[in-house]
Amino acid sequence: MSIFIVLVLLSAFCWAPSPAMRSSTLHLARSHSFSPDAGAPITTWAASLAAQSAADAARIATLVASSGGSTKKGHHRSFVPIAPGRQILSIPNYVARARLGTPPQTLVVAIDPSNDAAWVPCTGCASASSSPPFAPTRSSTYRPVRCGSPQCAQVPNPSCPRGAATSCAFNLTYASSAFEALLGQDTLALENDAVASYTFGCLHVVTGVPPQGLVGFGRGALSFPSQTKDMYGSVFSYCLPSYRSSNFSGTLRLGPIGQPKRIKTTPLLSNPHRPSLYYVNMTGIRVGGKPVPVPASALASFDPASGRGGTIVDAGTMFTRLSAPAYAAVRDAFRRRVRAPAVAPLGGFDTCYNATAVSSVPVTVPSVAFTFEGAVTVTMPEENVVIRSSSGGVACLAMAAAPADGVDAALNVVASVQQQNHRVLFDVANGRVGFARELCTA
């Protein structure tokens, strides 16, 4: 009966994008396909970088807040293979294979540490074409979540489109899409362990680009670490392979068992204004081993009164963004160290060099190091510092300044290119975030 109601809602309310939306979908999908090493002309590369930079900015502006999770210890472990979504799906997030329902239906889902909710494309609704949509009717374990249930109070912008006795829905804006999803529960497995009654949204109405299925790894009540805290104890880590790789050679490790024993950790901070996000205390930046004169206010922790500022670790933003004074200091120090001929800014990047093989001065890239409270220093070699177009022969400092205004003007985001080939541990149970170098690009 309940499944029947959901079906009626799906077929009655979900419509395909209008022709205008379709063309915008195509346009965006094209500008998102980003492969500097695929022999693309510089202009295409610049356009795609610009698009990615814009997407990063839009993302930072819409990171969703939700309520906090708790910290009970779990005993399971699971190693989930992950790959960059850029090559496979033209999205900035890393992706994993998930199995949803009974019998299991396989889906590719984005992993997002700065978001709590999960959603998947469902039959009858516009979907990203990467994998067939989830069909709730073909799962014997799917249940809609009713209006008035506790989960319905945890989603962003909840509504009851068909009255109080029906399925709870929620609206969200994410990347280039806005959608309404119907809340439901089913068995979800990432690699080994099946999680019964996992709460997620079934995409119902989509405006703009149909979003990829996604599992939120934020800190709120509906995130994967919170919904599985009895299994995995709110502990996970990942190693992100190079964004150029197309192999599932990275791992998302779930649970406290199997995490690195020796890893340097810094305290995890909680910002009550943005409780989903993983805040850390960045205390300094070095370029080529030398401390950069960053004004203390540019790295200071978030302001407790307004929630502005501070530093988060995020894997759904590609390029690190630093508040304007911090970025200016890093960029100036970087420019002083690099002797190669500078070229015009490219995409969102303002510090670019001629890196052709025949260039008289090769680009020698200084390391960049971020230091966090607890004397944790993450030293990033060239692959985490510059982005190169092998065809065009241009190398750019792969970081940018935070937006000039808005709530995120002072927010520093340690993004995925800077985390590639590092293991990053999110130990929510013990309030810490760890970093260790680890090669995971195949």
Min dist CB 1 to ligand NAG, Å, is 25
Question: Which residue out of 116, 314, 408, 427 is catalytically annotated?
Answer: 314
**186 belongs to the catalytic site:** no
Q: How many CB atoms lie within 10 A of CB 431?
A: 12
| 58 or 205: CB nearest ligand NAG | 205
Instruction: Give 232 or 372: the residue with its C-beta nearer to ligand NAG.
Output: 372
Of 2 and 354, CB closest to ligand NAG: 354
Q: How far is CA 193 from the centre of its chain?
A: 23
Residues that bind ligand NAG (CB under 6 A): 157, 159, 171, 180, 205, 207, 245-247, 269, 281, 283, 301, 343, 354, 356, 358-359, 373, 393-394, 442
Q: Judged by CB, which is closer to ligand NAG: 14, or 188?
A: 14
User: Could you tell me the smallest distance in angstroms from the CB atom of residue 13 to ligand NAG?
Assistant: 8
Helix intervals (H) in 185-272: 224-227, 229-232
**Element of type H or E holding 53:** helix 42-62
Minimum distance of ligand NAG from residue 355's CB (angstroms): 8
Q: What span, in angstroms and rounded, lies between the C-alpha atoms of 268 and 302?
A: 13
Cβ count within 10 A of residue 373: 14
Contacts of 43 (CB under 8 A, 6+ apart): none
By beta-carbon proximity to ligand NAG, the closer residue of 139 and 281 is 281
Candidates 56, 112, 186, 427; catalytic one: 112
**Pairing of the two strands 94-100 and 194-208:** unpaired
The span from the CA of 293 to the CA of 326, in Å, is 8
Which residues, 6 or more positions from 201, have their beta carbon under 8 angstroms from its beta carbon?
117, 118, 119, 120, 155, 169, 170, 172, 181, 182, 183, 184
Q: Does 193 participate in catalysis according to the annotation?
A: no
Q: How far is the CB of 120 from ligand NAG (least distance, A)?
A: 17
Our CA angle for 118, 124, 130, nearest 5°, is: 60
Minimum gap (Å) between residue 31 Cβ and ligand NAG: 21
Would you say 116 and 216 are in contact if contact means Cβ atoms under 8 Å apart?
yes
Active site residues: 112, 314
